[in-house]
Structure 1
Amino acid sequence: MTLYAYDEQGRSLLAVWGSGTGHRTAQIASVPETVEEASARSLAQAMSALSDAMWRTYTHPPEAAKSLEENTEGWRRAQTQALLPKVPDILRDPNLLLDRVVSYNPVEESAHRVGRALHRAGDARLSEAVIREARTELDAIERAGRGDLTGRAAHAVTLTRAGASPSQIAAADDLLRTSLLSGHEPFTDLDPAAASVAAAHWLQAAADATAKLTGVPPTAIVQEADNIEALPYRTPTTVLELMEQGLSPYGAVTRLLAEAMAVAEGLVHDVDELQDRFTELEELAARHSDRDPNFRAVLFSEVRLTTLDPARPAQDLLEDLLYGIRACWLLYSESAHEDFDDQTEEPAEHLHTDFLEAVRAEAQNTSNRLH
């Protein structure tokens, strides 16, 4: 969301939004002397809430819900999304019933609150500036949904979306093809959910290439590499296991993101799965209760509702998947070095190239996973 603030010294309304390379700011409007500072702060607060509601239509699109039938979550999201074009009109002509909820649609209700704040301010220039700003936000959200993350839409890079744009997945796929071991830095201009889908595909290719050389199963490679260098192995391993079970990179990524987004809202994504996990842990604890009476407490203290950071799940997932690709390189490199005599210079000269070529060949042969 874009945050709005009132600059008391300059008597101006400011917008601040995140991007892949830090926060950006812009002055939205000058606040006339006739508007009290408390009213200006209330306006900024209401505008922040409206931005939050509007950007949620990007992060929680209707098609990512389980159903679009009437009165379901997907149906409600579609209703909210459909109201976006009406926001400027609501700001210009709000319902003036103060301190009352006039709509259960979060975008509509937030827009009425901003409109009422503008009505109280009573300044035409300020109102027009805020309406222009709302149009800027709407344009950014629409372009982000199409995968165009330029301008204000670059804010989408800081968000987690329950879905991924095909154009953004393709852009990330191209980037990984040329910058496979470059770390997170090249991805600052891409949607992290879409980049994670492409990264999952390349992680599988790297794991498969490494497995052929080392004999280590693909799902065990990242954890095995943790013995060489400390790595966040749990998330990449989970993604590899999900794909081994038949999920596509898109399916594995969106499943983990949906799980983390639910936890961020205080919900459980899959109650049945959670119950199964607790049942397994209870059985494991019972088998070891004779050895250590504290084993059950320790076991359950390590339970996580999601493998990702709920505050930034897509960014966390992307980072861990890129570490997973590095893990494959570490194990590939160590194993290949053992196959060469210490006298030869071939590992130092060609090993990195051999790894990249092997992974690219695997990725090319399984490129249909991304479609």
Structure 2
Amino acid sequence: MTRYAIDDACNALVASWSTGIGDAAAVVTELPRTELDRQQLRRLAADLTALSQLCWRSYTHPASAADQHGPDSVGRRRQQERDAFATVLPLLIDAGQAAGEPVGTKVGRAAQAVARTLRSLDTPQLTTQIAADVATELAAVEQAELGDLSDRAEQAVALSREDASPLQISQADTLLRADPFGCPALLTQIDPAAAAVAAAHWFHAAVTVAARQAGLHPIQVVASAEQHGKPLAVESLTEIASFITAGGRPRHVVMPLIRTALNVGEGHLRGITGLHERVTAARELLDKTHTDHPDLDLSPDTVHVPLTPLNPARPAPDLLDNLLNGMQTCWHTYQHSRRDELPREQLRHAFLTAVRQEAHAQGERLL
């Protein structure tokens, strides 16, 4: 989402957003030199940030990804929020609507809050500039929905979506075919959920090649992963490798992982089966620890049960990072298992050639 702030030194309203590698910023408008209420200006920045967050939620949580549709369903409410985009600019421009009864959508109410603050500031030129920037923001969301993550829509690369565009998956697959270890374009031009689906396909190909070369089971290769202080990363990689090895499609394991983490980030879990499995596993581990180390004083209340192996604040980028690090693990396993004296670059070429062949052979499962 776009974050708005008041730059007191330059007397301007500025907007910033993530680009996947660092943030970008732009001046929305220079503020009038008249003595405007600084607290109200900061309220305006906060209201604009809230509006942007709700608009981008229509991108990350599209109606098409909802499990339920029909009257008073999640899918229907999401579609109503998306349809409310058409009401935003009229609400900002029409002071009468801003003063009226609250509208029925969160997006509409957020726009109404911006309009009320603009009305209290009573500066027509400021209202015009804000409306123009909000129009740009809405256009960026619509552009991202179409799979174009350029310009201001590039902020979508830092978000986690409940659905993945087949077009974006295909684009990520093309980038990974050129460089299976990943490249900057994968992080800055592709929706991370779609990139993670494609990366899971290539990760499994690398696991297969490394396991075959080393004479190991694929899960043994995954278990050797070093994830730089992220112990739960191996859990996500193991789940992905196991699922695809059993014949599943990358999309069908990646998207549930991301959705579960998104739910956790919002303070809830959907369904009790997964939670029950995690609690059971934690109890079994606790019982084993008591048996192996009877001198340790452990109680169930001291056990931390992770609800998701991904960072709930950024699950799709986090999973993509895990998968790309997992590719490096596969390469190290392959390299250390070779008995010949080939130079490192020749070994790397042989590994990448084998991975590309394996990924191509299983290409029909990607989309």
- Calculate the TM-score normalised by the size of structure 1: 0.89
> What is the match of residue 85 of structure 1?
86
Pair 1:138–1:216, CA change in 2 (3 A):
same
| Corresponding position of 1:257 | 258
Give, as a single letter, the amino acid of the residue that structure 2 aligns with 1:168.
Answer: Q
Residue 369 of structure 1 corresponds to: 365
Q: 5 Å matches for 1:351-362?
A: 351-362=347-358
The corresponding residue for 1:115 is 115
Aligned in 2, Cα 1:370/1:182: closer, same or farther, shift over 3 Å? Answer: closer
1:69 to 2:65 alignment: no
Q: Does 2:305 align with 1:309?
A: no
1:225–1:330 contact (8 Å) kept in structure 2: no
Residue number in structure 1 paired with 2:243: 242
Contact 1:5/1:44 (<8 A) preserved: yes
Classify the secondary structure of the residue corresponding to 1:346: coil
Alignment deviations for residues 53-111 of structure 1 (CA, whole Å, 9 cap, x no partner): 1111111111222112222222211110111122111111253448xx81352101100
**Corresponding position of 1:220:** 220
Aligned length: 362
Q: How far did residue 289 of structure 1 move? A: 3.6
The separation in 1 between residues aligned to 2:91 and 2:126, in whole angstroms, is: 15
Change (3 A) 1:21 1:330: same
One-letter identity of the residue aligned with 2:278 = R
The DSSP-based 3-state class of the residue aligned with 1:15 is strand
Deviation at 1:184, TM superposition (A): 6.3
Q: Is the 8 A contact 2:175 2:182 kept in 1?
A: no
2:14 match = 14
Code of the residue aligned with 2:365 in structure 1: it is: R
Change (3 A) 1:37 1:282: closer
Aligned to 2:106: 106
**Distance in 1 between the 2:346 and 2:359 partners?**
20
On the 8 A contact 2:282/2:303 being kept in 1, the answer is no
Q: SS state of the match for residue 102, structure 1? A: coil
Deviations 1:154-191 (A, max 9, x none): 11111111112222211211111111135667533322
Map of 2:346 onto structure 1: 350
CA separation in 2, counterparts of 1:235 and 1:300? 24
Contact 1:184–1:319 (8 Å) recurs in 2: no
How has the CA–CA distance of structure 1 residues 234 and 348 changed in structure 2, closer, same or farther, with 3 Å as cutoff?
A: same
Distance 1:139 1:38 in 2: 29
Superposed, which structure 2 residues align to 1:70-219 within 5 Å?
A: 70-93=71-94, 95-97=97-99, 102-182=102-182, 187-219=187-219
Aligned equivalents of 1:12, 1:230: Cα separation in 2 = 40
Once residues 71 and 103 of structure 1 are traced to their aligned partners in structure 2, the CA distance between those partners, rounded to angstroms, is 17
* Displacement after TM superposition at 1:358 (Å): 0.9
* Cα distance in 1 between the residues matched to 2:108 and 2:226: 50
Distance in 2 separating the partners of 1:328 and 1:86: 51
1:29 aligns with 2:29: yes
State the alpha-carbon separation in 1 of the partners of residues 259 and 333 from structure 2.
31
Q: Report the Cα distance in structure 2 between the residues aligned to 1:244 and 1:300, rounded to whole angstroms.
A: 35
Q: How far is 1:24 from its partner?
A: 1.4
Cα distance, 1:246 vs. partner?
Answer: 4.4
Contact 1:31–1:40 (CA under 8 A) maintained in structure 2: no
Gapped runs of 5+ residues in structure 2?
Answer: none
Distance 1:347 1:27 in 2: 52
Q: Which moved more, 1:358-367 or 1:5-14?
A: 5-14
Check conservation: 2:278, 2:305, Cα contact below 8 A.
Answer: no
Contact 2:21 2:187 survives alignment (8 Å): no
CA contact (8 A) 1:61 1:162 kept: yes
Distance 1:102 1:281, change over 3 A: same
Measure how far apart 1:5 and its partner are. 1.2
Are 1:320 and 2:316 matched, yes or no?
no
Q: Is the 8 A contact 2:310 2:318 kept in 1?
A: yes
